[in-house]
């Protein structure tokens, strides 16, 4: 008997893949940690850099113009580096790095508040939560046009060794029948990774996700 494979309509295929429109600087996809002005930031500035990338997307895509200087919405290498070092005052590299999502949220919330942005709430989803919960959280955030800062500590799989003890934003997903891939941006490049594998670090101490919500959206939902 001949096997017939059903063709998936293009409209359905598009729903299975979502990517945020990111930014490029020269040949770099996003920015690069190598550009930072100090050794401390080049080695341990990934938290501040992830917050900077989030600020650019919040300003550009969600109208939160105070989240970063106006010129940084279309970043150059110079003003991007300046923004990252501005975030360094709130998310400075520590001896053990920014190794808990609460440290990131506390620092980034303080930055946004002092910048005049008070409508962004943050919730942490720790790495010990079930994979299915994390997958749904990532999908929901990307569907809303929001980046997802992720902290990865140690991982058993050498495929992810470049991302150990590292913060990076998730900016897309692609879902097939048996896989859920996520797109990340860091080191001036992008990468697609199997999220189930990424979430299963094999270590007791884990990182997690930072989930954004815009309070004006919550208010609109309550009044609908």
Q: Report residue 160 as tokens.
A: 């992810």
Whether pTM exceeds 0.75: yes
Taking residue 69's Cβ as centre, other Cβ atoms within 10 Å add up to: 17
Indicate whether 208 belongs to any domain: yes
Indicate whether 143 belongs to any domain: yes
- pLDDT of 12 reads 46
- pLDDT of 143 reads 97
Indicate whether 68 belongs to any domain: yes
Indicate whether 90 belongs to any domain: yes
- The whole domain housing 35 covers 23-223
Indicate whether 80 belongs to any domain: yes
Q: Report the distance separating Cα 163 and Cα 114, nearest Å.
A: 30
Indicate whether 51 belongs to any domain: yes
By CB neighbour count within 10 A (0-12 exposed, 13-18 middle, 19+ buried), where does 47 fall?
buried
Angle CA 136–169–27, to nearest 5: 135
- We report the CATH number of the domain holding residue 67 as 3.90.70.10
Greatest extent of the chain over all pairs of C-alpha atoms, in Å: 68
* Chain centroid to CA 8: 30
Indicate whether 16 belongs to any domain: no
- pLDDT of 203 reads 97
Indicate whether 18 belongs to any domain: no
Please, what are the averages of pLDDT over each run of 10 residues along the chain (224 residues)?
44 72 97 97 97 98 97 97 98 91 98 98 98 98 98 97 97 95 98 98 97 71 42
Domain count along the chain: 1
């Amino acid at each position: 008997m001949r096997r017939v494979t059903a063709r998936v309509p293009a409209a359905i295929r598009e729903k299975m893949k979502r990517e945020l429109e990111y930014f490029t600087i020269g040949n770099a996809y996003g920015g690069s940690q190598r550009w930072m002005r100090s050794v401390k930031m080049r080695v341990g500035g990934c938290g501040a850099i992830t917050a900077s990338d989030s600020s650019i997307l919040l300003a550009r895509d969600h109208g939160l113009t105070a989240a970063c200087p106006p010129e940084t919405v279309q970043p150059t290498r110079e003003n991007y580096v300046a923004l990252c070092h501005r975030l360094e005052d709130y998310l400075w590299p520590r001896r053990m790095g920014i190794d808990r999502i609460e440290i990131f949220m506390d620092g980034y919330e303080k930055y946004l508040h002092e910048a005049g942005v008070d409508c962004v709430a943050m919730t942490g989803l720790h790495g010990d939560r079930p994979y299915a919960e994390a997958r749904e959280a990532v999908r929901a955030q990307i569907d809303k046009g929001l980046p997802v800062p992720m902290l990865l500590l140690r991982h058993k799989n050498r495929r992810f060794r470049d991302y150990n003890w590292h913060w990076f934003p998730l900016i897309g997903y692609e879902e097939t029948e048996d896989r859920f891939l996520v797109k990340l941006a860091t080191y001036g490049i992008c990468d697609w990774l199997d999220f189930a594998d990424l979430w299963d670090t094999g270590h007791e101490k884990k990182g997690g996700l930072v989930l954004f919500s815009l309070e004006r959206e919550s208010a609109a939902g309550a009044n609908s």
